[in-house]
Amino acid sequence: MHRSILLLAFRSILLAGTAWAEVASPPAAAPKVPPLLAAALEKLAQHTDRWAYTQTTIEKDTNGKTKHETVVRFDPSLPYAQQYRPLKVDGQEPGPSDLTKLRRQGEKRGARLEREERDGPDPKRKTVGELMDLERATVAEENAGSVTFAVPLKQEGNNRFPPEKFLVTARVNKERGAFENVAVKLREPMREKIVLKIKSGEGSVEFSSVDPKHPPQMTVIRGAASASILFVPFGRAYELKREDFKRVKPYGDRFEVKIGPLKALDF
């Protein structure tokens, strides 16, 4: 899922009038992130990567049949190569290849975090969170307990989610000022290149309380998509569940490596 300039001509007499209006009128206020949404973002920033947890990942095919299931313990307080520890792979004890795969995953994660801390985010692969145009967010729905914001996506640097094709929403709890849900959904079918047609796609992140002393954390992440290649249909769905949370100090803190709060929001 990867994506002018309008030139306006004025008569000379209108140019003069426009210039006067620009001087006489105060500059428009810069757009701001809605306060409730900003509060949720601040909480996310303060608590990203400060929890160890057990994550169960289930991948299913279009018929709902489980294709792959893994149970992994993630602990960001450990050295990067040790942060992912497999517990079960398709119901079996992990083998040497599983251990090697997750060790490399941890090493790559560490290298990426340190590179982004040094050079900035990778412009080629931005997450949904990084692509959200928060200053243009509008209220889509509100009730006694929460506000749901519709958040446009940015065009610049977006090679995954064409803004006109996707709808992103973020629901924030009024009392806690924290996220309850963030979701992205394909508005209509789209074609990638010539042979690939994406018929549907959606993802969501659910936030739940894991410790009353701290804001809710991401506990369930879901995603699904259906597409066709040369008219041959295929699809996949996945669900990640996180539990057994434990508060920890990130290993990267010793190197002053920090994760952007929106980096974690992805599907």
Mapped onto helix, strand or coil, the DSSP state of residue 261 is helix
Copy the structure tokens of residue 22. Answer: 């620009």
Which DSSP category does 121 fall into?
S
Task: Give how far Cα 131 sits from Cα of 66, 100, 107, 238, 246, Å.
Answer: 31, 32, 26, 22, 30
At residue 19, does pLDDT exceed 50?
Answer: no
Instruction: Write down the pTM of the prediction.
Output: 0.76
Least confident of 134-143, 164-173, 178-187, 224-233: 224-233
Total count of residues recorded for the chain:
267
Q: Return the pLDDT at 14.
A: 28
Average pLDDT over residues 161-186: 88
Closest by Cα among 67, 69, 63 to 233: 63
Q: pLDDT band for 56, please (50, 70, 90 cuts).
A: very high
Q: Return the pLDDT at 165.
A: 80
Q: Return the pLDDT at 201.
A: 74
To 5 degrees, how large is the angle CA 262–CA 265–CA 267? 150
Give the chain's mean pLDDT.
78
Q: Return the pLDDT at 260.
A: 58
CA distance 115 to 201: 31
Q: What percent of the chain has pLDDT over 90?
A: 42
